[in-house]
Amino acid sequence: MSNTPYVDDAVLGSLYPDHIQTIKSRHDQALERAGAGHAVIFSGAPRAVFLDDYDYPFKPNPHFVGWLPLTQIPYCYVIYTPEEIPVLVYYQEKDYWHLPPANPEGYWVDQFEIRVVHTHEEVGRHLPEDASKCILIGEIDDPAHAFGIDRINPSSALNMLHYGRGVKTAYELECMRGASRRAVKGHAAAENAFRAGKSEYDIHLDYCRAVKHTDSELPYGNIIALNENGAVLHYQHQSREKPAKLRSFLIDAGAGICGYASDITRTYAKESGEFADLIERFDELQQQLVAEVKAGLDFSDLHVSCHRKIAELLAEIRVAKGSADALIEAGVTSAFYPHGLGHLLGIQVHDVGGHQGDDLGTTIDPPIGHPLLRLTRQLEVDQVLTIEPGLYVIDMLQENLAGTPGHAMVNQERLDWLRPYGGIRIEDNVRVLADSCENLTRDAFAA
């Protein structure tokens, strides 16, 4: 299972035992909190396409991936009992319609007692005899996959596990560095394709070739947006037709290593000039925000600080007029920048626990007026998160300013200049340190 050249399997193998000890410790606490003796973690089952005989691409249970790097094998179970070696019930279907999973191998196998099964019925023989002492973690659509376990995803256990997942182990950090290195290969290929005048669809294909991912292996659907399409935050199309005139390119795309994701955004101008200068200015703004990241920082405060910087930039480029306070109060900054500054990142692109204040499930609401902020926790060492300010011309939001004081603050002539470029977003993935941060994205681009 080689991830070369993005990460060294020997390095992962050296870090993995300590990672497993951390995962065990978290589950020890979760089981105690839930009053249970065993945790059964289900990898997941494929979802069938309605009225057809094939499945949607399989996405594994992230709790399962936290134990081991099996991202494409359904119907497997990890069984964990405190002070015992974890058991992996490895489902290896005998099938001539599909290629069965290979025999288990890799740096992770020594940490499990592996029991290979070939039918669903065999799984039940390996589960704890007393189902009442078990909790099951995973998505269960078919009761048969629960094997009589009634306590499925108890909140007492999940709150603890989700909160703990916010802090990454050394093994996870190395996977995420690799995921960043992998993604920047794609970003470089995508920029070259844009410079060569290719369509969104062809840019996407070049990206996938560079990272060696199929569409279903990407951690999320690529956002490949030319010109005005950059103003659609989660632009989901990939036009086969090239625009008559290329002006700008916004790409939000990541990659995966061992089930861990990167999430990177860049914006480019086709020609030098005022929009290219604005991208450089926006990159400076983004790096100022990154420089503030450190343990103990309230992320909500950084998000609000970003709105102030956006307000100052809007005035600087004459797209809006007024003080920062006035532009924020009137909703002008929210019209140009409607999303949150960032989110936790890990096994899931928008990783869990961003609003949790503790492992009991206490929530910390976003600041008033900023409902879409996904991360409100105080930052801790070894959390990994995104820093992704944006600036867009979204006509629907501009229209919402009509009849408000904010509308008069917007320079419509300058808005018309900016509109054909769509927008700008620059996103880095950073690891929180005690007094600063490690920028996984910039390090990968610099390598």
Domains of the chain: 9-165 (3.40.350.10), 170-446 (3.90.230.10)
Span 91-120, mean pLDDT?
A: 95
Is the pLDDT at 5 greater than 90? The verdict is: no
Residue 198 to residues 60, 190, 225, 423, Cα–Cα distance (Å): 34, 9, 12, 19
Percentage of residues in the chain having pLDDT higher than 90:
98
Span 23-31, mean pLDDT?
A: 98
Percentage of residues in the chain having pLDDT higher than 70:
99
Distance of CA 315 to the CA centre of its chain: 32
Q: What is the pLDDT of residue 37?
A: 98
Partners of residue 298 on adjacent β-strands: 378
Is the pLDDT at 104 greater than 80? The verdict is: yes
Confidence of residue 3 (pLDDT cuts 50, 70, 90): low
Q: What is the pLDDT of residue 1?
A: 46
Residue in the block written with tokens 């609003």: 355
Residue 176 in tokens? 């995420």
Residue among 3, 12, 5, 2 nearest 108 (CA): 12
Start-to-end C-alpha separation, the chain: 23
Span 164-187, mean pLDDT?
A: 98
Q: What is the pLDDT of residue 208?
A: 98
Q: What is the mean pLDDT of the chain?
A: 97
Span 369-388, mean pLDDT?
A: 97
Residue 282 in tokens? 């926006």
CB of 260 closer than 8 Å to CB of 176: yes
Cβ neighbors of 383 (< 8 A, separation 6 or more) are 166, 167, 168, 344, 377, 431, 432
**Rounded CA separation 352/213 (Å):** 24
What SS3 class is residue 77?
strand
Is the pLDDT at 75 greater than 90? The verdict is: yes
Q: What is the pLDDT of residue 4?
A: 65
